[in-house]
Amino acid sequence: MSFGLQKAGIQVLAGIDNAEDCRRTYEENIKGARFIKHDITTLSAPSLSQRLGIKVGDPNLVFAGCSPCQFWSKIRTDKTKSERTAFLLKHFQKFIHHFKPGFVVIENVPGLYRRTSESILPGFFKFLSQNEYKWDDGIINANHFGVPQNRMRYLLVATRLLNEITLPPITENISATVRDFIGSANGFTPINAGHRDEDDFQHWAANLSEANLRRIRATPPSGGDRSAWKDDQSLQIPAYQGRDKIFRDVYGRMHWDRPAPTITTRFNSLSNGRFGHPEENRAISIREGATLQTFPKDFVFRGSNVQQIAKQIGNAVPPELAKRIGKHLISLVTNG
């Protein structure tokens, strides 16, 4: 979000996260902004004001909240660990209440919006109304905003400066596809599973077992899936025996001429979704995943291991989406 807003022309003052492992990535790429390592549940508004010199009621101030979303996700995982971060919107609200910024942006998974009986979103709407904010919100597909993924997100934009506000406009009749972003025509040299280059391009592909190499070799290019080898007992996976219609994307290849599926934190793993390269016999690389998230090729990721970097990429707001949000806010300020 910080990177995209900055590219839109908004001055980014700081990003707050309680994960130290993303500090270097943030500081090396978001020039002029501070990385504040802090849990927002224990960070006070006066302390933030002191750190950044921001003032109450600044009409040019933007607060963007992109809290962890695993609790509200459709992915079938144990939600116990994510319960602690499920209601961070309430803590985000205290900063809005104190600073009264000109604009507020929230980006999260659709579950936050669809499961309103469980979430605190209705209470947040009431808070916005009580503080004279106008807002627009809804479920959007990042593919309609220049991102080559079918990535469904909940987006809210609010302001206290205007009588009406809208979500950013979508790109009409244009669908960004995998072919538009990766492949040899876009500067990606063909590589094998297990490849790791030695520079900051980070065209790193996970290694594959011999069985998984055989599986992907047997999977047709551009959209093939595991149904191609369902009758080969040496390749069939016992959990899917006779259950060909469940989890169809697992071990599948991306389509060249369609948007990619949602880039998750495990996008570099063949067995975690439709993350097979459209034609090469491997899962997509770290750099390919970042590119499908619309990070530029000179954006450098830092982390202690590959999976930590993949997590940073998969959890990120696609910069192109954030950029369009930022440009929309600037347009609203300029044109009313």
Q: Which residues are catalytic?
A: 69
**What's the chain's Rg over C-alpha atoms?**
21
- The position carrying tokens 């390269």 is 277
User: Cα dihedral angle (19, 23, 25, 31), rounded to 10 degrees?
Assistant: 130
Q: Is 57 left (phi over 0), alpha (psi -120 to 50) or beta?
A: left
**Residue 163 CB coordination number (10 Å):** 7
> Could you tell me the sign of the dihedral formed by the alpha carbons of 317, 57, 169, 297, in that order?
negative
Residue 190 makes CB contacts below 8 A (sequence gap 6+) with 184, 280
C-alpha span between 269 and 326 (Å, rounded): 32
Return the exposure string of 164-181: e unless at least 16 CB atoms fall within 10 Å of the residue's CB, then b.
Answer: ebebbeeeeeeebbbbbb
Which string of DSSP letters, residue by residue, matches 150-179? --EEEEEEEESSSS---PPPP-TT----GG
Give me the long-range contacts of 74-83 (CB less than 8 A, separation at least 24): 74/109, 74/111, 75/264
